Structure 1
Amino acid sequence: MIGLLASLAYLIPLTGGLILFKLDERKADAVMLASFISALVAQLGVAYLFLTEHHEVIHIPYITTERLGEAYGIIIDPMSVLIGTVVSLAGFIFMFYGVEYMSERNVGHPGGKGRGLFYAWMTLFEGATLGFIYSSTFLGLLIFFELMGLACWGVVSYYNTPEARRAGFKAFIIPNVGAMIGFYTAIGIGITQLHDLSLFSLAHVAPSIKPWLFIALLFAGYTKSAQFPTYSWIPDAMEAPTPASAFLHGAAMVEMGVYLVARVLQFIGDLPIWIFYFMAIMVSLTLLIPILNYPVQKDAKRLLAYSTVAEAGVMFVGLTFAALGLDVGLKAAMFQLTTHAFIKGLAFLTAGTFTYSLGTLDLRRISGLKDILPVNGFSWALALLGLAGLPPMGIAFSKAELLTDLVALKITGLAWLPIIMVLTDSVVFLWVGMKWIGRNVFGKPSVKKAPTHWIINASLIALIILTLISAILAYPLVEEITFYGVGA
């Protein structure tokens, strides 16, 4: 039963997405919401059954052959259940908000007709992401990785402006290069040496090859997660409608690069210490990029885009420690992914209300939100303070999980470098965030009145609540996440 529900969680939105290419307006609204709700219900069923009846790793091979071994299957375990629930819940809230955002009442981007195409790409995006999360083989991961890339291209280029077309092409090509390097290498080794494409076969890779296979897959994760040196596609992807920006930053595209590397680390076994040194230097260079860019950003979504580069970097700091064999790093990365999904979703949907209600994303033109849009003003302040790492937002506790268990320092002094960069990023973002909160929320009102809608406010309130309680809800599953290795 649990395997059927897990499969339905991604098959339903994949099917709904294909149907939506032929629909528009109210029919499209209904099919899109039904697809997201059905996926959420199926995923919640998986979470309930796993927490109440199953506590072991559930591995279901669906397609096996003599030459390829396991070609396709699913894994249901604490990591996939946790992240699958995050994606399905956040995705539903983002697209519930999207029904109003894509309407003709949007001041900055009046919608209405044509939104069925956007819904189609977003619903496919959801299904591909959930399929990726549950996949137990590199062939399955590659297929869903590419489907995510295609859907990302569709939503980023949706407005069909020259800037949107360029950004969509870039968002497709850069991660696709990573996929070719990482997944083709893994599948090639699986076919020629292991005769098995499953993640479980990773532990049997020859020691001389294993570090280089990991580096190839790490590069695939870096391109997906907009890490140095492949980060430039993510600020440009802000051409997408805001619900898509929230999804690809908060619950899908960027996070799946982190998820991929976490999955590989779970199964690959011991790695040489130079892998840690390489990852520590790369993540530190990544964190330097947003630190330098925060102070000069004037566009709300671009500010949040650079924050995404940093927050994904924080997740990779956890994975850097996990490369030393420390499962606390694995836990911290998935904890950060979970709490970040809701706070970043809140930040993006609030920025979307600037377009919807005020017709601008220019932070210099937004002032006095506490008087004209009080819910938006509160959510903007909460989101910026949360992204800086301040409690009581859940993301403060996921960062604390990383920064308070410093076992890595006993192994190598270089572990200080990424930790210092994480703290520096938080300080700089807090400084910039406080500046904009003072102006945007508490300044003199820039307009006398601004339109809003109950769907907009309900979505923001739901995310505010989840931002505050996500750490509590996620922690039991986070604590169950660990390495598997040969004996899994």
Structure 2
Amino acid sequence: MIGLLATLAFTVPLIGGLILFRLDERKADVVMLASFITAMLLQLGVAVIYLLDHEELIHIAYLKSTQFGEVYGIIIDPMSVLIGTVVAVAGFIFMFYGVEYMSERNVGHPGGKGRGLFYAWMTLFEGATLGFIYSSTFLGLLIFFELMGLACWGVVSFYNTPAGRRAGFKAFIIPNVGAMIGFYTAIYIGLTQLHDLSLFSLPKVSPEVKPWLFLALLIAGYTKSAQFPTYSWIPDAMEAPTPASAFLHGAAMVEMGVYLVARVIQFIGPLPVWIFYFMAVMVSLTLLIPILNYPVQKDAKRLLAYSTVAEAGIMFVGLTYAVLGLTGKAPGFDVGLKAAMFQLTTHAFVKGLAFLTAGTFTYSLGTLDLRQISGLRKLLPVNGLAWTVALLGLAGLPPMGIAFSKAELLTNLSLVRVSALAWLPILMVLADSAVFLWVGLKWITRNVFGRPKAVRAPTHPIITASLVTLIVLTLVSAYLAYPLVEEITFYGVIP
């Protein structure tokens, strides 16, 4: 039963997305919302059944071959259930908001006709992301990875401007290069050496090959998550409609690079310590990029884009310490794996809140220029509250949920005393939070409490309801997620 529900959760939006390519306007609204609601209800059903039955891991192999072993299957475990639920719930909220955002009432981007194509890409995006989360083989991961990339191209280039077309091409090519390096390497090894494409075969990779396979898959994760040096595609992808930006940054594309590496870490078993040092250096360089860019950003979405680079980097900090647990230097250090998935969960809702609020600047005021936005406290009070909660939340202040996921990185710090370098990622996380808090307070003071520059600004109950829902989830997501987070662990051999 649970396997059927999980499979339908990603199959329904994939079918709905294909249908939407032929629809527009009201019919498209209905089919899109029906697809997202159905996926969310199915995924919530998976979560309820899993929590009630409390099985550690459910593995269903749908397609096997004598020569290639498992070709396609699904894994239902604490990590896939948690992240799948986050994607399904956040995706529905973003696209419920999107029905109004894509309307003709949007001051900055009047919509109406043509939105069926946007819905089609977004619904496929949802299905591909959920399919990726549950996949148990590298072939399945590759297929859904590429579908996500195709959908990302479709939504980023949706407005068909020169900048949008360039950004869409870039958003497709960079992660695709990473996919070729990582997944083609894994599939080649699976076909020629292991005769099995399953994640469960990873511990069988020879010790000489395993570090290089992990490095190849790490590159795939880095490109998908906009990490150094491949981060530049994510600020450019702000050409997408805002609901797509929220999904891309908060619950899908970027986070799936982190999820991929987390999945590999769960299964791969012992790794040499130089992998840990490599990841520590790379994530520290990644966090330096947004720290330098926050103060000079004037566009709301580009500010949030650099924040996404940093927040994904913080997830990779957790995975860096999880790798330390696979080197034998800090046995059983699965707290890093838990912290990464905890961060992914809490970040989804606060980043979604931030992007949807930025979208209301376009919808109500016709601009994303933060210098032109002032007096939200009087002009759009709910929007002003949402912007305040989002920026303070991204900086890591309690009681927002992301404060607790960042705090989990600081637990058991005695385990990182393998060298002075092991402290660098933690120091960079603290520096990023401090700089973003400084910049966030500056813009809150100006945008929310400054003198209004307009007499009135239009809004809509759908937008207000979406923002209020995300404010609540931003505050409670950590408490809801923690039981599943604590069950996430390694499946491979631990040194």
Residue 416 of structure 2 is matched in structure 1 by: 409
Q: Are the aligned partners of 1:200 and 1:486 in contact in 2 as well (CA < 8 Å)?
A: no
1:370 and 1:111 map into 2 onto residues whose CA distance is 27
CA contact under 8 A between 1:408 and 1:415: conserved in structure 2?
no
Q: 1:333 — aligned with what?
A: 340
Tell me which amino acid in the other structure corresponds to 1:4. Answer: L
Shift of the alpha carbon at 1:486? 4.8
Matched residue type, 2:437: L
Q: Secondary structure at the match of 1:286?
A: helix
- The question of 1:237 aligning with 2:237 is answered yes
Letter in 1 for 2:124: L
Secondary structure, counterpart of 1:231 in structure 2: coil
Counterpart in the other structure of 2:16: 16
Quote the offset at 1:218 in angstroms: 0.1
Shift of 1:101: 0.1
Residue 281 of structure 2 aligns to a residue whose secondary structure is helix
- 1:355-388 Cα offsets, whole Å, 9 max, x none, are 0000000000000000000000000011000000
The SS at the match of 2:487 is coil
Structure-2 separation of matches of 1:404 and 1:48: 29
Q: 2:73 maps to what in 1?
A: 73
Report what 2:434 is aligned to.
Answer: 427
Contact 2:86 2:348 in 1 (8 A): yes
The residue type paired with residue 73 of structure 2 is G
Larger displacement relative to structure 2 (166-175 or 404-413): 404-413
- Distance in 2 between residues matched to 1:167 and 1:251, nearest whole Å: 20
If the length of structure 1 is used for normalisation, what is the TM-score? 0.99
Aligned to 1:59: 59
What residue identity is the alignment partner of 1:381? T
What is the alpha-carbon distance in structure 2 between the residues aligned to residue 24 and residue 10 of structure 1?
22
Query: Which residue of the partner structure matches residue 214 of structure 1?
Result: 214
Secondary structure, in 3 states, of the residue corresponding to 2:70? strand
2:411 and 2:422 mapped to 1: Cα distance? 13
**1:211 Cα deviation (Å)?**
0.3
What secondary structure is seen at the aligned counterpart in 1 of 2:155?
helix
SS at 1:403 equivalent: coil
Q: Which residue of 2 aligns with 1:346?
A: 353
Give the 3-state SS of the residue equivalent to 1:392 in structure 2.
Answer: coil
Moved over 3 A (4+): none
Q: CA deviation at 1:471?
A: 0.2
| Candidates 447, 463, 470, aligned match of 1:463 | 470
Give distance in 2, aligned partners of 1:108 and 1:408.
51
C-alpha contact 2:417 2:423 (8 A) present in aligned 1: no
2:118 is matched with which residue?
118
Asked if 1 retains the 8 angstrom alpha-carbon contact of 2:321 and 2:416, the reply is: no
Match for residue 368 of structure 2? 361
* 1:247 counterpart residue number: 247
| Aligned residue type for 1:446 | K
Where do residues 79-478 of structure 1 align in structure 2 (5 Å cutoff)?
79-325=79-325, 326-478=333-485
Q: Aligned residue for 1:26?
A: 26
> Within 1, Cα distance between the matches of 2:250 and 2:367?
22
How many residues end up aligned between the 2 structures?
A: 487
Contact 2:270 2:493 (C-alpha < 8 Å) held by counterparts: no
SS, match of residue 71 in structure 1: strand
Between the aligned partners of 2:489 and 2:173, the Cα distance in structure 1 is: 33
Q: How far off its partner does 1:54 sit?
A: 3.4
Q: What whole-Å deviation, never above 9, does each CA across 1:376-402 have from its counterpart, x for those lacking one? A: 000001100000000000000000001
Q: What is the CA–CA distance in structure 2 between the aligned matches of 1:413 and 1:71, rounded to whole Å?
A: 43
- 1:226 and 1:274 map into 2 onto residues whose CA distance is 22
Percent of residue pairs identical: 83
Q: C-alpha displacement at 1:202, in angstroms?
A: 0.3
Q: CA deviation at 1:404?
A: 2.8
> Retained in 1: the 8 A contact 2:108–2:365?
yes
Task: List alignment gaps of at least 5 residues for structure 2.
Answer: 326-332
Counterpart secondary structure, 2:283:
helix
User: Which residue identity does 1:348 align to in structure 2?
Assistant: F
TM-score, normalisation: structure 2: 0.98
In 2: Cα distance, 1:407 partner to 1:29 partner: 53
Q: Determine helix, strand or coil for the equivalent of 2:488.
A: coil
Query: Does the aligned pair in 2 maintain the 1:156–1:240 contact within 8 Å?
Result: yes
Contact 1:204/1:486 (<8 A) preserved: no
Any conservation in 2 of the 1:106–1:356 contact (CA below 8 Å)?
yes
